[in-house]
Amino acid sequence: MAMRDLTVGEQTIRYDADATAAIYRGLGNGWAEDCGCVGCRNFLAQRSEIYPAAFRDLLLQLGIDPNKESEVVADGPMENGLHHYGGWFFFIGEMVSDSECLSIVREAPCFECSFARFGPCPKEFRDRPRLAVQFNAHFRWVLSDSWDSDLWPAAVRPPKVIDGHKSDPA
Protein backbone atom coordinates (compact mmCIF):
# COMPACT_ATOMS: atom_id res chain seq x y z
CA MET A 1 0.00 0.00 0.00
CA ALA A 2 1.31 3.42 -0.96
CA MET A 3 0.09 5.53 1.92
CA ARG A 4 0.67 9.28 1.98
CA ASP A 5 0.10 11.79 4.76
CA LEU A 6 -2.18 14.78 4.36
CA THR A 7 -3.06 17.56 6.82
CA VAL A 8 -6.27 19.57 6.39
CA GLY A 9 -7.05 22.10 9.11
CA GLU A 10 -6.31 20.41 12.44
CA GLN A 11 -6.55 16.84 11.14
CA THR A 12 -3.82 14.65 9.68
CA ILE A 13 -4.67 11.46 7.83
CA ARG A 14 -2.86 8.79 5.83
CA TYR A 15 -4.48 7.69 2.56
CA ASP A 16 -4.05 5.27 -0.33
CA ALA A 17 -5.32 7.04 -3.45
CA ASP A 18 -4.67 4.10 -5.80
CA ALA A 19 -6.63 1.61 -3.67
CA THR A 20 -9.45 4.15 -3.28
CA ALA A 21 -9.60 4.94 -7.00
CA ALA A 22 -9.81 1.21 -7.79
CA ILE A 23 -12.89 0.87 -5.57
CA TYR A 24 -14.55 3.96 -7.08
CA ARG A 25 -13.97 2.64 -10.60
CA GLY A 26 -16.00 -0.42 -9.60
CA LEU A 27 -18.97 1.62 -8.29
CA GLY A 28 -21.72 2.26 -10.83
CA ASN A 29 -22.95 5.60 -9.50
CA GLY A 30 -23.41 7.70 -6.38
CA TRP A 31 -25.96 7.47 -3.57
CA ALA A 32 -28.27 10.11 -5.06
CA GLU A 33 -29.09 8.06 -8.19
CA ASP A 34 -30.04 5.03 -6.11
CA CYS A 35 -32.07 6.94 -3.51
CA GLY A 36 -34.10 9.08 -5.88
CA CYS A 37 -35.89 11.07 -3.13
CA VAL A 38 -36.67 14.71 -3.92
CA GLY A 39 -33.77 15.93 -1.76
CA CYS A 40 -31.35 13.70 -3.68
CA ARG A 41 -32.83 14.77 -7.01
CA ASN A 42 -32.26 18.42 -6.09
CA PHE A 43 -28.65 17.54 -5.24
CA LEU A 44 -28.22 15.56 -8.46
CA ALA A 45 -29.52 18.46 -10.56
CA GLN A 46 -26.54 20.59 -9.47
CA ARG A 47 -23.95 18.05 -8.32
CA SER A 48 -21.44 18.84 -11.07
CA GLU A 49 -21.18 22.50 -9.97
CA ILE A 50 -22.04 22.33 -6.28
CA TYR A 51 -18.63 21.67 -4.71
CA PRO A 52 -16.04 24.38 -4.07
CA ALA A 53 -12.95 23.81 -6.24
CA ALA A 54 -10.77 23.18 -3.17
CA PHE A 55 -13.12 20.41 -2.03
CA ARG A 56 -13.20 18.76 -5.48
CA ASP A 57 -9.39 18.89 -5.54
CA LEU A 58 -9.28 17.22 -2.11
CA LEU A 59 -11.56 14.40 -3.31
CA LEU A 60 -9.49 13.86 -6.46
CA GLN A 61 -6.26 13.83 -4.46
CA LEU A 62 -7.68 11.08 -2.23
CA GLY A 63 -8.69 8.98 -5.26
CA ILE A 64 -12.43 9.70 -4.80
CA ASP A 65 -14.81 10.16 -7.76
CA PRO A 66 -16.81 13.34 -6.86
CA ASN A 67 -19.87 11.93 -8.67
CA LYS A 68 -20.06 8.81 -6.48
CA GLU A 69 -20.88 10.05 -2.97
CA SER A 70 -21.31 7.30 -0.35
CA GLU A 71 -24.41 9.01 1.03
CA VAL A 72 -26.06 12.41 1.02
CA VAL A 73 -28.88 13.61 3.28
CA ALA A 74 -31.12 16.65 2.74
CA ASP A 75 -32.35 18.14 6.00
CA GLY A 76 -34.82 20.74 4.67
CA PRO A 77 -34.92 24.52 4.32
CA MET A 78 -33.31 27.07 6.61
CA GLU A 79 -34.19 30.68 7.41
CA ASN A 80 -31.86 31.95 4.68
CA GLY A 81 -33.86 30.03 2.03
CA LEU A 82 -31.06 27.54 1.36
CA HIS A 83 -31.25 23.84 2.21
CA HIS A 84 -28.98 22.06 4.64
CA TYR A 85 -27.19 18.95 3.31
CA GLY A 86 -24.78 16.49 4.82
CA GLY A 87 -22.70 14.03 2.82
CA TRP A 88 -19.98 11.39 3.05
CA PHE A 89 -17.30 10.00 0.74
CA PHE A 90 -15.36 6.98 1.99
CA PHE A 91 -11.72 6.25 1.12
CA ILE A 92 -8.93 3.89 2.13
CA GLY A 93 -6.95 5.52 4.90
CA GLU A 94 -6.44 6.03 8.60
CA MET A 95 -6.45 8.86 11.10
CA VAL A 96 -3.06 10.13 12.28
CA SER A 97 -4.27 13.02 14.47
CA ASP A 98 -7.89 13.90 15.00
CA SER A 99 -9.80 17.06 15.87
CA GLU A 100 -13.45 17.91 16.26
CA CYS A 101 -13.08 21.00 14.08
CA LEU A 102 -14.72 21.25 10.68
CA SER A 103 -12.57 23.00 8.08
CA ILE A 104 -14.40 25.88 6.45
CA VAL A 105 -13.99 25.62 2.69
CA ARG A 106 -16.38 28.50 1.94
CA GLU A 107 -18.27 30.94 4.19
CA ALA A 108 -21.32 31.68 2.05
CA PRO A 109 -23.07 29.68 0.99
CA CYS A 110 -21.71 27.53 3.80
CA PHE A 111 -19.48 24.58 2.93
CA GLU A 112 -17.51 22.80 5.67
CA CYS A 113 -15.77 19.45 5.68
CA SER A 114 -13.75 17.16 7.91
CA PHE A 115 -12.38 13.64 8.09
CA ALA A 116 -14.46 11.17 10.09
CA ARG A 117 -13.88 7.65 11.37
CA PHE A 118 -17.57 6.79 11.26
CA GLY A 119 -20.45 7.29 8.87
CA PRO A 120 -22.67 5.37 6.44
CA CYS A 121 -19.95 3.11 5.04
CA PRO A 122 -20.60 1.26 1.75
CA LYS A 123 -19.80 -2.47 1.84
CA GLU A 124 -16.91 -2.02 -0.62
CA PHE A 125 -14.89 -0.23 2.09
CA ARG A 126 -15.81 -2.25 5.17
CA ASP A 127 -12.98 -4.80 5.20
CA ARG A 128 -10.19 -2.20 4.87
CA PRO A 129 -8.84 0.64 7.01
CA ARG A 130 -11.09 3.48 5.91
CA LEU A 131 -12.16 7.02 6.69
CA ALA A 132 -14.82 9.36 5.36
CA VAL A 133 -14.67 12.91 4.10
CA GLN A 134 -17.88 14.41 5.44
CA PHE A 135 -19.39 17.71 4.42
CA ASN A 136 -21.94 20.06 5.87
CA ALA A 137 -23.32 22.53 3.33
CA HIS A 138 -26.07 24.89 2.26
CA PHE A 139 -27.35 24.32 -1.28
CA ARG A 140 -30.00 26.05 -3.38
CA TRP A 141 -33.31 24.42 -4.20
CA VAL A 142 -33.40 24.21 -8.00
CA LEU A 143 -36.27 21.76 -8.61
CA SER A 144 -39.84 22.80 -9.34
CA ASP A 145 -41.02 19.99 -7.01
CA SER A 146 -41.23 21.23 -3.43
CA TRP A 147 -38.73 19.95 -0.88
CA ASP A 148 -41.42 18.12 1.12
CA SER A 149 -43.30 16.68 -1.86
CA ASP A 150 -42.29 13.10 -1.11
CA LEU A 151 -42.37 13.10 2.68
CA TRP A 152 -45.76 11.39 2.55
CA PRO A 153 -46.21 8.25 0.48
CA ALA A 154 -49.22 8.89 -1.82
CA ALA A 155 -51.38 6.27 -0.07
CA VAL A 156 -51.26 8.02 3.32
CA ARG A 157 -51.08 11.65 2.15
CA PRO A 158 -53.65 13.71 4.09
CA PRO A 159 -56.61 14.66 1.89
CA LYS A 160 -56.52 18.19 0.45
CA VAL A 161 -59.08 20.64 1.82
CA ILE A 162 -60.87 22.37 -1.07
CA ASP A 163 -63.57 24.99 -0.33
CA GLY A 164 -63.86 23.66 3.16
CA HIS A 165 -64.59 20.12 1.96
CA LYS A 166 -62.14 17.30 2.10
CA SER A 167 -61.63 15.81 -1.34
CA ASP A 168 -61.27 12.07 -1.67
CA PRO A 169 -57.67 11.04 -2.27
CA ALA A 170 -57.44 10.03 -5.95
Closer residue to Zn ion, CB minimum distance, 40 or 132: 40
At its nearest, how many Å lie between Zn ion and the CB of residue 13? 28
40 vs 62 by CB, closer to Zn ion: 40
Residue 157 CB, shortest distance to Zn ion, in Å, is 19
**30-to-24, 58, 64 alpha-carbon distances in Å:** 10, 18, 11
- The least CB distance from residue 169 to Zn ion, in Å, is 24
Residues binding Zn ion: number (CB under 5 A): 3
CB closer to Zn ion out of 8 and 35: 35
**74-86 burial: b if 16+ Cβ within 10 Å, else e:** beeeeeeebbbbe
Among positions 19-78, residues that touch Zn ion (CB under 5 A) are 35, 37, 40
Residue 14, phi then psi, degrees to nearest 5: -125, 135
Min dist CB 130 to Zn ion, Å, is 22
Q: Is 85 helix (H, G, I), strand (E, B) or coil?
A: strand
Near Zn ion in 110-169, by CB under 5 A: none
Find how far residue 66's CA is from the centre of its chain: 10
- Minimum CB distance to Zn ion smaller for 37 or for 102: 37
Residues 6+ apart with CB under 8 A from 99: 9, 10, 11, 114
- Residue ranges in contact with Zn ion by CB under 5 A: 35, 37, 40
